[in-house]
């Protein structure tokens, strides 16, 4: 595809075919929705308190502001998701909003790819986008993930809830 941008011709690389895609989130939708409703209630109570006290911040209003801030933080964290794609040219992973673009691991740069069990606390000291020397973890839930070992020795672990499907796809791709 050719695009003309500011009188310059730019060649846009064609998208590769997505063979597998999985989207994971920290909490179930019902939990996220409940937290959004709770945050809305805290917000309304803070506004009502400010109106009743003519804009003056009381101790109660300060406590509500702290609770509202914590609730907003939890909404942000629980709203993040992990997107895993296996494409014809490699493995793509993205962790919005923490990671705005996909990290791409091309097949030619991989020495090994396999599914394995892991322990989030023991190996990565928690969940989320975890970085350690020579290692990256995209940890959301469960205890199964795709281990990628790059040709330079760096390791990447990406959690999955669909290990059987990924194992089957990896077997097909090896043929």
Q: What is the pLDDT along the chain (175 residues), one digit of tens a residue?
A: 344 444 434 434 556 899 999 999 877 778 778 888 988 998 898 888 888 888 888 888 888 889 888 988 888 877 788 999 999 999 999 998 888 899 999 999 999 999 999 999 999 898 888 999 999 999 988 899 999 999 999 999 999 999 999 999 999 988 6
From CA 84, how far away is CA 55, in angstroms rounded? Answer: 47
Q: Which of 132, 163, 172 is nearest to 24 (CA)?
A: 163
As a whole number of angstroms, the distance between CA 143 and CA 56 comes to 49
Task: Show Cβ contacts of residue 52 under 8 Å, excluding neighbours closer than 6 positions.
Answer: none
CA gap 51, 49 in Å, rounded: 5
User: Does 117 share its domain with 143?
Assistant: yes
Together in a domain, 104 and 60 = no
Same domain? For 115 and 58 the reply is: no
Residue 60 per-residue DSSP state: H
Same domain flag for 57 and 125 = no
End-to-end C-alpha distance for the chain, whole angstroms: 31
């Amino acid at each position: 595809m050719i695009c003309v941008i500011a009188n310059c011709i730019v060649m846009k690389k064609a998208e590769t075919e997505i063979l597998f895609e999985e989207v994971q989130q920290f909490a179930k939708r019902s939990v996220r929705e409940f937290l959004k409703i709770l945050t809305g209630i805290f917000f309304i109570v803070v506004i009502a308190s400010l109106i009743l006290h003519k804009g003056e911040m009381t101790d109660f209003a300060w406590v509500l502001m702290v609770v509202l801030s914590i609730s907003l933080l939890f909404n942000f964290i629980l709203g993040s998701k992990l997107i895993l794609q296996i494409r014809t040219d490699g493995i793509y992973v993205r962790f919005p909003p923490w990671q705005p673009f996909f990290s791409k691991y091309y097949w030619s740069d991989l020495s090994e790819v396999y599914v394995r069990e892991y322990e989030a606390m023991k190996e990565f000291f928690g969940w989320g986008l975890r970085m350690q020397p020579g290692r990256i973890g995209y940890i959301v839930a469960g205890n199964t993930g795709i281990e990628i070992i790059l040709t330079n020795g760096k390791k990447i672990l990406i959690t999955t809830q669909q290990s059987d499907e990924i194992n089957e796809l990896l077997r097909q791709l090896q043929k």
